[in-house]
């Protein structure tokens, strides 16, 4: 069976490893805090977070950054659980909430 996009360990690559430290943007810090709060409140758990990330279409997974994958998973997981209505976040974003 072909390994899925997220199962990356041990894959050969010629690309150098970026070892530089990088500052996190505000939205990335907020995403981390949001997921921490959702887990502490019992709305979701870390295994559901990972499963949601692993269910991303491979091309979206490859394009997305680390915290973009978290956000994708939060939205799909909370929608599957009925905590968010389908499209609710998009509507809120369009209203500028």
Q: Are 52 and 6 in contact (CB under 8 A)?
A: no
- Binder among 32, 43, 51, 68 for other proteins (CB under 8 A): 51
CA–CA distance, 81 with 24 (Å, rounded to integer) = 29
Q: Does 79 bind other proteins (CB under 8 A)?
A: no
Which residues, other chains included, contact 55 with Cβ-Cβ below 8 Å and sequence gap of 6+? Answer: 73, 76
Tell me which stretch binds other proteins (CB under 8 A): 4-12, 17-25, 34-42, 84-92: 4-12
Which residue in this structure is represented by tokens 């887990």? 39
Task: Please identify, using beta-carbon distances, which residue of 32 and 51 lies nearer to other proteins.
Answer: 51
Interface residues with other proteins (CB under 8 A) are 1, 3, 7, 9-11, 45, 47-48, 50-51, 54, 81
């Amino acid at each position: 069976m072909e390994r899925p996009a997220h199962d990356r360990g041990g894959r050969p690559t010629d690309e150098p490893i970026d070892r530089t430290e990088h500052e996190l943007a505000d939205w990335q810090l907020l995403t981390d805090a949001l997921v921490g709060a959702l887990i502490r409140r019992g709305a979701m758990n870390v295994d559901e977070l990972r499963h949601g990330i692993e269910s991303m279409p491979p091309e979206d997974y490859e394009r997305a950054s680390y915290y973009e994958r978290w956000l994708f998973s939060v939205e799909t997981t909370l929608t599957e659980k009925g905590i968010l209505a389908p499209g609710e976040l998009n509507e809120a974003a369009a209203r500028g909430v």
